[in-house]
Structure 1
Amino acid sequence: MKVTLEKASELIKQGETVAIPTETVYGLAADAFNINAVKKIFEQKGRPADNPLIVHICDLNQLQDVAKDFSDDLQKLTDRFWPGPLSVVLKKRKSVPDIVTGGLDTVAVRMPDHPLTLELIKKTGPLTAPSANKSGRPSPTNPRHVIEDFGDDFPILDGGASKLGLESTVLDLSGDSITILRPGFVDSKMIQDLLKKEVKLIAESDKKSGKKSPGTRFTHYKPKASVKWLDYSVKNISDSDSYFIFHSKTIKSSNRKNVHTYQGDYSSLARDLYDHFRTADYISCSTIYIEPFTDEKIHPLIPALKDRIKRAISS
Structure 2
Amino acid sequence: MTPSDADYARAVELLRAGELVAFPTETVYGLGADAANPAAVAKIFAAKGRPADHPLIVHLAGHDAVDHWAEQVPDVAWELMETFWPGPLTLILKKQAWVPSTVTGGQDTVGLRVPGHPVALELLRRFAIAAGEHAGIAAPSANRFGRISPTKAAHVREELGDRISLILDGGPCTVGIESTIVDCSRGEPVVLRPGHIAPTHLEAVLGRCPAIVTASGAPRVSGSLAAHYAPQTPMRLIAASRLLDFLNAQRHKGDCCGVIGHSQPPQAGMPHLWRMLPADPVGYAHDLYAALRDMDHAGVSLIAVEALPEAPAWAAVADRLRRAVAGSGQP
What is the TM-score with the length of structure 1 in the denominator? Answer: 0.92
* Structure 1 residue 94 displacement after superposition: 1.6
* Distance of aligned partners of 1:8 and 1:264 in 2 relative to their CA distance in 1, 3 Å threshold: same
Specify whether residues 265 and 254 from structure 1 end up closer, same or farther in structure 2 by C-alpha distance, changes over 3 A only: farther
In the alignment, is residue 134 of structure 1 matched against residue 174 of structure 2?
A: no
Q: Which amino acid aligns with 1:71?
A: P
Amino acid at match of 1:228: R
1:148 Cα deviation (Å)?
A: 1.0
Give the direction of change, closer, same or farther, for the CA distance of 1:38–1:153 in structure 2 (3 Å limit): closer
Which residue of structure 1 lines up, in the alignment, with residue 234 of structure 2?
226
Match of 1:185 in 2: 196
Q: Which residue of 1 aligns with 2:317?
A: 305
Q: 1:254 aligns with which of 264, 267, 274?
A: 267
Match of 1:285 in 2: 300
Q: Deviations over 1:50-88 (max 9, x none)?
A: 000000001122212111212221122111110000000
Deviation at 1:41, TM superposition (A): 0.3
**CA contact under 8 A between 2:57 and 2:90: conserved in structure 1?**
yes
In structure 2, how many angstroms separate the alpha carbons of the residues matched to 1:266 and 1:18?
A: 30
**2:160 alignment partner in structure 1:** 150
Aligned equivalent of 2:102, options 99, 103, 108: 99
Q: Contact 2:33/2:137 (CA < 8 Å) preserved in 1?
A: yes
Deviation at 1:260, TM superposition (A): 1.9
Residue by residue over 1:156-204, the C-alpha shift from the partner in whole angstroms, topping out at 9 and shown as x without a partner, is 011101011100000000002211000001111111121113411114x
Superposition deviation, residue 44 in structure 1: 0.5
- CA positional deviation for 1:127: 0.4
Cα distance, 1:252 vs. partner? Answer: 4.0
Q: How many residues align?
A: 306
1:21-43 per-residue CA deviation (whole Å, 9 max, x = no partner) reads: 00000000000000000000000
Moved more, 81-90 or 54-63: 54-63
1:42 aligned to 2:45?
yes
**1:60 paired residue among 46, 60, 63:** 63
Map of 1:202-241 to 2, 5 A cutoff?
Answer: 202-203=213-214, 205-206=215-216, 211-231=219-239, 232=242, 233-234=245-246, 235-238=248-251, 241=256
Contact 1:210 1:216 in 2 (8 A): no
Instruction: Give the secondary structure class of the aligned counterpart of 1:201.
Output: coil
- Structure 1's 285 and 215: CA in aligned 2 closer, same or farther, altered over 3 A? same
Range 55-64 or range 126-135, more displaced: 55-64
| Structure 1 SS opposite 2:249 | coil
Query: Relative to structure 1, is the Cα distance of residues 265 and 252 closer, same or farther in structure 2, using a 3 angstrom cutoff?
Result: farther
**Change in 2 beyond 3 A, CA 1:9/1:259:** same
CA displacement at 1:243 relative to structure 2:
1.1
- SS of 1:268's equivalent in the other structure is helix
What is the letter of the counterpart of residue 180 of structure 1? V
Task: Please report how far the alpha carbon of residue 276 of structure 1 lies from its aligned counterpart in structure 2 after TM superposition.
Answer: 1.3
Q: Which residue of 1 aligns with 2:34?
A: 31
CA distance in 2, matches of 1:198, 1:252: 36
- 1:117 pairs, out of 117, 120, 145, with 120
User: What value does the CA root-mean-square deviation take over the aligned residues?
Assistant: 1.9
The one-letter code sitting in structure 1 at the alignment partner of 2:260 is: I
Q: Deviations over 1:216-253 (max 9, x none)?
A: 111111111111012515342238631111123xx344
Higher mean displacement: 77-86 or 147-156? 147-156
Give, in angstroms, the shift of residue 210 of structure 1. 7.8
- CA drift at 1:215: 0.4
In the alignment, what sits opposite 2:185? 174
Range that drifts further, 144-153 or 30-39: 144-153
1:252, 1:263 within 8 Å by CA — same for their partners in 2?
no
- 1:163 pairs, out of 144, 149, 174, with 174
Task: Verify the 8 A CA contact 1:83 1:112 in the aligned structure 2.
Answer: yes
Q: Is the 8 A contact 1:5 1:116 kept in 2?
A: no
* Mapped partners of 2:203, 2:300: distance in 1: 41
Give the C-alpha shift of residue 286 in structure 1: 2.1
The answer to whether the 8 A contact 2:143-2:160 is kept is yes
Does the 8 Å contact 1:179/1:199 carry over to 2?
yes
Give structure 2 stretches of 5+ with no counterpart.
128-134
Q: Post-superposition shift, 1:263?
A: 5.0
Shift of 1:46: 0.3
CA spacing shift, 1:263–1:217, aligned 2, 3 Å: closer
* Structure 2 partner of 1:89: 92
* Identical columns (%): 38
**Greater mean deviation of Cα atoms: 57-66 or 13-22:** 57-66
Secondary structure of 2:250's aligned partner? coil
Answer whether contact 1:35 1:97 (CA < 8 A) is retained.
yes
- Structure 2 distance, partners of 1:201, 1:60, is 24
Helix, strand or coil at the partner of 1:237: helix
